[in-house]
Amino acid sequence: TAIGYNAFMSCLQLRNIIIPESVITIESGVKTLNLNNNAITAPTFVDESDNTTNSYGLWVKGGEMTIDGKGEIIAQDAEYSISVWANGGNVVIKGGTFRNGGDSCDLIYASDGGKVEIYGGEFISNGPASGTAPGTKNPYPALNIKDRDRGTSSITVYGGRFFMFNPADNVSEGEHT
């Protein structure tokens, strides 16, 4: 289940901590989200197609979303804990703090032709990804592109601060990408 952008924006004006009942989904158009010192805590749900537990903060299936301002988008502890997912849409991140829970390596995720450009913000992956060897350079992967979509999806980093992750020398999947 998805909540529309306009309904979400009216919620944003009411509270400093927003916990939507369902995933905030963008399917078309050009949208801007100024976090404005608010925190968005993503809901957790079970995907009935594969019985996985998921938590997505912002799911961009189409169109373009620009995120700016101080504030947070937090995905809860789940098998797939994604703060921002460019799933066919485009995302431009200029500010904000992005966090996820569990051992998911998908803090910022791109798939199905989705594109992410990062100009600023803070990126804090909660814990090491499953199977990450101790002592590796990037034990807390923050950026991930779906393997089958590496030719059509992208994440480009121009700035930002990354907790225990070096986007200039990714040593997780897609070594040195």
Q: Return the pLDDT at 34.
A: 94
State which residues of the chain have pLDDT below 50: 1, 10-15
Rounded to the nearest 5 percent, the helix, strand and coil shares of the chain are: 5, 45, 50
pLDDT at 7: 54
Element (H, E) at 6: helix 5-12
Position 92 scores a pLDDT of: 98
* Whether the Cβ atoms of residue 174 and residue 141 lie closer than 8 Å to each other: no
For residue range 37-83, what is the model confidence (pLDDT) as tens digits? 899 999 999 988 999 888 999 999 999 999 999 999 999 988 888 99
DSSP character string of 77-136: SSSEEEEEEEESSEEEE-S-EEEE-TT-S-SEEEETT-EEEE-S-EEEE-SPPTTPPTT-
Q: What's the pTM value of the predicted model, to 2 decimals?
A: 0.83
Spatial CA neighbour of 29 closest among 80, 74, 54, 65? 65
CA distances from residue 125 to 9, 64, 70, 71 in whole angstroms, order as listed: 26, 24, 18, 16
